[in-house]
Amino acid sequence: MPARDETLLTVPNVSEGRDAGVIAQIGDAFASTGARLLDVHSDADHHRSVYTLAGSTNTLVAALVAGACACTRLVDLRAQRGSHPHVGALDVAPLVYLDDARRGAACAAALVAGEELGRAGLPVFLYGRLAGGRSRAELRRGGLRTLAERIAEGELQPDFGPRQPDPRTGVTLVGARPPLVAFNVELSPPATLQDARAIAARIRQGGPQGLPGVRAIGIELTAGGRRVAQVSTNVEDHRRIPLARLVAAVAQHAAVERCELVGLAPRAAFDGFPHDVSVANRRTLEDGLSS
């Protein structure tokens, strides 16, 4: 009988998307413990890099600690950090299970990672199923300054690590989850930032045309001298809301210019996807794990 695959993923999000040298150094740190670095996606407008790594529990926990140490040396949140909401240099560090059989291992690994990151000097907040469903958005509301005030007032307390965040490095959010799909939809001119924000408010979970498990914000891209309105989304359950349905929901309100995948997506997320809509960086988890 073949041995069960114990591989987990971690998808750390780092608040640096412009300095190629810093991005590479942080990637090297994540990979220094033997974890496989499957993908790196950086965006100058979001000022954010998303790394996808695969490995065993111990390897991934060590990778997150090594990467966190590099982030605290190389990323300074006191400088302007782009349009994506964030509260930390190593902003989010989820442990990802690829099937239900690995859920327990991912949850255990996330708790160990939180403790180890706390020992490394970072305040750590759990989110998702490990924190009674608390969302990243709840913790990021108002940014790092507001979060520090909520801690000082006793409303919140980190689950691991120091009580108060360093304004230079912030806090890290740790969770355990199945794969989600980070997917950006660019709107055709003359759509504006206000249009993107209005569409995001309509299609996100809880909106008037809300899609279950979809988080969405509207931003404006300006890198390279262009101005493009974008609906930036996270799809938490790609089987319930395939990307084709997400794009159709956006297209009800504005023409879609093109799309962009951030990181890797399960192949099934693209079931039924329209052939006439281009997707930058389209690459699947299955491709990454088999390479």
Phi and psi at 159, nearest 5°, equal -80, -25
Q: Please name every residue paired with 260 in a beta bridge, in sequence order, or none if there are none.
A: 184, 280
3-state helix, strand, coil split of the chain in percent (to 5) is: 35, 25, 40
Which residue, chain included where needed, has tokens 């980190």?
158
Reduce the DSSP state of residue 49 to 3 states and report it.
strand
Q: 86 an active-site residue?
A: no
Catalytic residue among 41, 47, 84, 238: 84
247, 222, 234, 230: which is closest to 188 by C-alpha? 230
Provide the phi-psi class of 249: left if phi over 0, else alpha when psi is between -120 and 50, else beta.
Answer: alpha
Using a 10 angstrom Cβ sphere, with 0-12 exposed, 13-18 middle and 19 or more buried, the burial of residue 131 is middle
User: How distant, in Å, are the alpha carbons of 150, 159, 208 from that of 163?
Assistant: 11, 9, 38
CA atoms within 13 A on the CB side of 62: 12
Cross-strand pairs, 92: 13, 173
**217 DSSP β-pair partners:** 232
Residues designated as active site: 84
